[in-house]
Amino acid sequence: MKKVLIFLADGFEEIEGLTPADLLRRGGLEVTTVSIMGRRTVTGRSRIPVEADCLFETCRIDEADALVLPGGMPGVTYLSEHQGLAEALKEAAKKGKLVCAICAGPTVLGGLGLLKGQKATCYPGCESGLTGADLSTDEVVESGSFITSRGAGTAIPFSLKIIERLTDRGNSARVAQSIVFCDRVDS
C-alpha cells in the first residue's frame, strides 16, 4: 500500500488538508497527517482544531511515497520556515517521489527551487512564489513528480489526481463516483 504524508501547520486551509486525507484513504492509500507544530493538535484557518496522526519529529518521512502540502495562511508560512520539512521535500524530489501542493502551498516548493522547469499552478496572486516554474491557470497540474493545484475549490480534483498517480485511473474514477463528484457543466 502506498504511503502519503500530509503536513499540517496552524492556519492550514482545512478543505485542502482534509479533503486529500479523506479521499486518498477512500482510494486505499495509507495516509498520515503530520503536525509540524510540535504538538498533535493543529488549528486550521477557520479555527477548526484537527488532531494530527503524528508529529514531524516522530514520523518516518523516508518511507512515504508522496508528500502533500495544503495551503492557507499562516500555515504556508510555517511550512516554508520548517527546515526539517524543507530537507524532506528536497530529498523526496531528488528521489522522484510524488510531491503535491495546493493553493499557496506550491510557493514552498518554488522557494526551494524545486519547480524550476516544471509546469505549476497556485492560488491567484501567489504566482511570484513559483520561482522558475512554467505558470499555468489549470485547476490541477501534473509535471514530472509534482502535482499542484489552485485552492479550496480544486481540492477534490487535486485529490483524485493524486489517487490516479499513486494507483490508477479506475480507482480514482471509483472514488469520484462514490462521492457523487461529476464533471461540472458550464452554465
**DSSP-assigned letter for residue 134:** E
Q: Alpha carbon of 49 to those of 12, 14, 70, 163: distances in Å?
A: 10, 9, 15, 26
CA 7 vs. chain centroid, Å, equals 8
Q: Is 103 a catalytic residue?
A: yes
Burial class (CB in 10 A: 0-12, 13-18, 19+), 96: exposed
Burial class (CB in 10 A: 0-12, 13-18, 19+), 63: exposed
User: Which of 59, 100, 103, 122 is the catalytic position?
Assistant: 103
Burial class (CB in 10 A: 0-12, 13-18, 19+), 121: buried
Q: Alpha carbon of 40 to those of 26, 99, 158, 175: distances in Å?
A: 23, 23, 25, 28
Catalytic residue set: 103
